[in-house]
């Protein structure tokens, strides 16, 4: 997708006016670029940091309908469930079915009857019948470490699991195959204007140090939690309520969950969950107002305490501590603020606003990126004065150069499911600029290996030298940068002392 010399070619391709400039390289921006390119428009996409480096790589890894929103926003749940089914069909190598378990305890709410009705409706929206009930002994065979006192049994239902950062790369790769151009580490500095309308952006390439203009007939602001900053350039008022969701990543032997499980937190009854992921277990999530800088969110001690309290309640014999985690991660959700008292009560609906030629899209979920992108495409068509072809969604294509073929002698990297044979292809073909791009997004080695994969870095160094031309000094700089990022944003967090 991004062969040698692609960055210079990107600059050259942007000298002439494009139909659409997309600012933001997360799942929403990638989806918009794909839809626009599939419609025959010339498209350029820029991302100020790495692709998927915002919320799109720090989600809960779920492609799901949002069972907890069924009562409050059934339309969003219906759309999400249907998109889940489409993604399971269209990207089976990236989106896989996930069995979720819901325990039922005597005297707890929601109870057996309410869950049965809700899950039947959830399945009905997808046109399936997957949910079923397991009696206590059978439920415990799947979850032997789950708290047994007052346990009646529980339900099993179906959702789906993904690697969110790789999904973004797949969508971007599909957009590129339809003619789009995309570059990471290119920041929109100021908006360009013509006849009192936004007409492109002056940008800075942080890799080359070059400033250049990208003139465009239409500009889409898909920067997620940064959206209000771009909208300020057209006098737009603040609309976002950034909400942080934090997660632990535990070794499987510390949190041995062979299936996903969700249960209400003992303090506030918010659903939290543990999911098996790439040989480890993710546990989350929180939902707090994020008032710190957007660039480097991290789990706070109060979130660690909150999550561990749930683990101690539902898995009391495991005695799990924060320091046993392999890593932690936090993402900031670009939620539209409505003034709800609790962060969890805010809607996850998307919003699309057109202001002086700038189309801003905010809110939404990972699961529903394609219908949101199609809605943005309709706005683009209106802005360009051309009819919109309301046809099938743009297809997700398989990259021309995929991960190296598997063979039985491929050596795994540590205890992960990654192979050393994968890395040269990733480095050569997936726009890796910094070591953290490789360790945290192209692969998730930094989350799945102890201490961020420190023990494997010396073996990765010559691969970066061969594929990227890094000399010894560049490697030292990149390693120091990566280790700082990991320690600052992904090291396991223990709860602070109680006051």
User: pLDDT tens digits, residue range 186-218?
Assistant: 999 999 999 999 999 999 999 999 999 999 999
Domains and CATH numbers, the chain: 6-55+165-239+347-384 (3.50.50.60), 92-160+241-345 (3.30.9.10), 420-489 (no CATH)
C-alpha 205/C-alpha 187 separation (Å) is 6
Instruction: Read off the pLDDT band of 340 (50, 70, 90).
Output: confident
Q: Residue 299 has what pLDDT?
A: 97
Which residues 6+ apart lie within 8 Å of 289 measured at CB? 241, 242, 243, 244, 343
Q: How many residues does the chain have?
A: 499
* 496 pLDDT more than 80: no
Q: What is the DSSP string of 339-377?
A: --SSGGGS---EEEEEETTEEEEEE--STTHHHHHHHHH
With beta carbons less than 8 A apart as the criterion, state whether 492 and 323 touch: yes
215-257 pLDDT tens trace: 999 999 999 999 999 999 999 888 899 999 999 999 999 999 9
In 3D space, the residue among 186, 249, 245, 207 whose CA is nearest the CA of residue 25 turns out to be: 186
Q: Residue 499 has what pLDDT?
A: 35
Q: pTM of the entire structure?
A: 0.95
Q: How far lies 217's CA from each of 42, 116, 185, 199, 381, in Å?
A: 10, 51, 23, 6, 11
With beta carbons less than 8 A apart as the criterion, state whether 393 and 234 touch: no
Percent over 90 (pLDDT), the chain: 81
5-14 pLDDT tens trace: 788 889 988 8
Q: Residue 276 has what pLDDT?
A: 97
Q: Map residue 463 onto helix, strand or coil.
A: helix
Q: Which contiguous run of DSSP H or E holds residue 166? A: helix 164-177
88-138 pLDDT tens trace: 999 999 999 999 999 999 999 889 999 999 999 999 988 889 999 999 999
Q: How far lies 334's CA from each of 15, 137, 331, in Å?
A: 32, 42, 10
Instruction: Read off the pLDDT band of 365 (50, 70, 90).
Output: confident
Dihedrals phi, psi of 421, to nearest 5 degrees: -70, -20
C-alpha 314/C-alpha 262 separation (Å) is 10
50-101 pLDDT tens trace: 999 999 999 999 999 888 777 777 888 899 999 999 999 999 999 999 999 9
Average pLDDT over residues 415-422: 93
């Amino acid at each position: 997708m991004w062969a040698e010399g692609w960055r210079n070619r990107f600059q050259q391709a942007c000298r002439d006016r494009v139909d659409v400039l997309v600012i933001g390289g997360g799942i929403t921006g990638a989806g918009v670029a794909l839809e626009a390119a599939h419609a025959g428009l010339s498209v350029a996409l820029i991302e100020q940091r790495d692709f998927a480096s915002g919320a799109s790589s720090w989600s809960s890894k779920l492609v799901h309908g949002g069972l907890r929103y069924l009562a409050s926003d059934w339309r969003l749940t219906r759309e999400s469930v249907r998109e889940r089914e489409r993604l399971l069909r269209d990207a089976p190598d990236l989106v896989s079915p996930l069995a979720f378990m819901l325990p039922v305890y005597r005297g707890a709410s929601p109870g057996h009857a309410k869950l049965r009705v809700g899950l039947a409706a959830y399945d009905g929206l997808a046109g399936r019948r997957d949910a079923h009930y397991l009696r206590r002994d059978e439920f415990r065979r799947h979850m032997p470490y789950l708290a047994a006192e007052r346990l009646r049994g529980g339900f099993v239902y179906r959702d789906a699991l993904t690697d969110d950062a790789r999904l973004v790369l797949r969508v971007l790769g599909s957009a590129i195959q339809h003619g789009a151009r995309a570059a990471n580490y290119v920041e929109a500095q100021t908006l360009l204007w013509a006849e009192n309308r936004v007409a492109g952006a002056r940008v800075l390439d942080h890799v080359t140090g070059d400033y250049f203009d990208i003139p465009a007939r239409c500009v889409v602001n898909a920067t997620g939690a940064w959206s209000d900053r771009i909208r300020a350039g057209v006098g737009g008022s603040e609309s976002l309520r950034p909400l942080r969701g934090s997660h632990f990543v535990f070794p499987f032997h510390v949190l041995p969950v062979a299936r996903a499980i969700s249960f209400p937190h003992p303090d506030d009854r918010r659903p939290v969950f543990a999911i098996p992921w790439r040989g480890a277990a993710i546990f989350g999530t929180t939902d707090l107002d994020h008032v710190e800088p957007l660039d480097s969110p991290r789990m706070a001690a109060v979130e660690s305490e909150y999550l561990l309290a749930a683990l101690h309640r539902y898995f009391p014999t495991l005695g799990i501590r924060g320091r046993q985690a392999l890593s932690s991660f936090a993402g900031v959700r670009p939620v539209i603020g409505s003034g709800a008292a609790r962060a969890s009560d805010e809607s996850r609906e998307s919003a699309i606003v057109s202001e002086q030629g700038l189309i801003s899209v905010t809110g939404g979920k990972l699961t529903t990126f394609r219908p949101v992108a199609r809605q943005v495409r309709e706005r683009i068509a209106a802005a360009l004065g051309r009819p919109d072809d309301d046809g099938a969604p743009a297809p997700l294509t398989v990259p021309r150069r995929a991960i190296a073929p598997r063979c039985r002698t491929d050596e795994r990297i540590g205890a992960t499911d990654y192979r050393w044979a994968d890395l040269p292809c990733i480095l050569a073909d997936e726009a890796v600029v910094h070591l953290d791009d490789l360790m945290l997004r192209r692969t998730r080695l930094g989350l799945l290996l102890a201490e961020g994969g420190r023990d494997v870095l010396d073996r990765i160094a010559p691969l970066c030298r061969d594929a990227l031309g890094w000399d010894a000094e560049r490697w030292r700089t990149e390693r120091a940068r990566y280790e700082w990022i990991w320690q600052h944003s992904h090291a396991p967090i223990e709860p602070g002392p109680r006051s």
